[in-house]
Amino acid sequence: MIMEATLQNSTDFILLGLITHPEFPGLIFAVVFSIFLVSVTANVVMILLIHVDSRLNTPMYFLLSQLSIMDTVYICITVPKMLQDLLSKEKIISFFGCTLQIFLYLTLIGGEFFLLGLMAYDRYVAVCKPLRYPLLMNRRICLFMVVGSWVGGSLDGFMLTPFTMSFPYCGSREISHFFCEIPAVLKLSCVDTSLYETLMYACCVLMLLIPISVISVSYTRILLTVHHMNSAEGRRKALATCSSHIMVVSIFYGAAFYTNVLPHSYHTPEKDKIVSAFYTILTPMLNPLIYSLRNKDVATALRKVLSRCPSSQKTRVVDMSRKY
C-alpha cells in the first residue's frame, strides 16, 4: 500500500512480470537465465566465427552477423531486468528506463524486419543471378543494407516512443508485462488512446508489408528458378541455402503477425506475454542455432576453431617443458 501511494506521486512504473505471482521464481529464473546464456553465447560465437573464418567472409554471413548483433542487444534490453525482478520484491522501472526499453525494442524489432527482408533478396541474387552476385552484393551495397536496416528500425523508435511516453499516466503504475511494451503501457493512460493505437497499428502493418513483400517476391523467383533447374544437385543446394532463412522468417514473422496485425479481440494479457516472451527470449536463441545446425559452412568453421584449442594448448605445454 505504501509503495502504491508513493508510486502514484512518482513517474516510476512497476513491472508485474511474465507471471504475476510465480510459485517457483527460482525455477523460472534458472530457465530464463539458461536461455539467456545460451542465446548470448551462441550469437557472440556466430559473430566471432564470421569475422575469423575467411570462408564466411561473404555477403550472406555479413548480414547474418548483423542479425546476431541485433539479437544479442535485443535480448539484453529485456531479460536482465526480468531476471532482476524475479529475485527482487521491488520490480520498479524508472520512466527513463521504460522509455529507453521501448525505443531500443522498436529500433531492434524494426531493424530485424528490414534485415530479414534484405537477407531474402541476397538469397534471390545468389540463386537467380549467381554470375552477377559479386557485383549486386558488393561490400558497399551490403553496408548500405545494414545501415538502412538500423535507420529504418530507429525511425520507428523515434516516431512512436515520444508519443507513447507523452500521454498522462495518472492511475495505476503497474504494467502487466515483464518489460515496457507499448500496448501494456498504454493501458495505464488516463486519456483515450484509441486514435493513436489505430495509427500505430497502421504503421506496424506498413513496416511488416515492406519486408514481407520483398521476401515473397524473392522466394517466388527462387522457386521458379529452382523449378527450371535440370540438375537435382543444383536444386538441393539452392533450397539448402534458403531453408535456414525461411525457418527464421517463419518464426519471427509469425510472432510479429500475432502482435501487430491480429485485431485486439484476439488478444489477452496472458497470450500477449507468452508471444512477447517467445520473440524476445526464445527467438534470439533459436536464430543462431538454426543457422549453425543447418549450415555446413558454419559447422565446419566451428569445428575448425574448436580443433585449434587443444592443439594450441599442447603447443604451449611443449614450449613450457622446453624452457624448463
Residue 1, pLDDT score: 46
From residue 116, alpha-carbon distances to 67, 245, 295 in Å are 8, 8, 17
For 172, the 3-state DSSP assignment is coil
Q: How far apart are CA 81 and CA 241, in angstroms?
A: 37
Length of the chain, in residues:
324
Residue 10, pLDDT score: 61
Residue 93, pLDDT score: 92
- CA 67 from chain center: how many Å? 7
Residue 310, pLDDT score: 59
For 15, the 3-state DSSP assignment is strand
Answer whether 36's CB lies under 8 Å from 75's CB: yes
Q: How far apart are CA 125 and CA 133, in angstroms?
A: 6
| Of 251, 252, 222, 250, the residue nearest 237 (C-alpha) | 222
How confident is the prediction along the chain (324 residues), in pLDDT tens digits per residue? 444 544 555 678 999 888 877 788 889 899 999 999 999 999 999 999 988 888 888 999 999 999 999 999 999 999 999 999 988 888 899 999 999 999 999 999 999 999 999 999 999 999 889 899 999 999 999 999 999 999 999 998 999 999 999 999 887 788 988 999 898 899 898 888 889 988 888 888 888 888 999 999 999 998 888 888 877 777 777 777 788 888 888 888 888 777 777 767 677 778 888 888 888 888 899 888 888 766 777 878 888 877 876 555 544 444 444 544
Q: How far apart are CA 233 and CA 248, in angstroms?
A: 24
| Of 256, 258, 252, 244, the residue nearest 283 (C-alpha) | 252
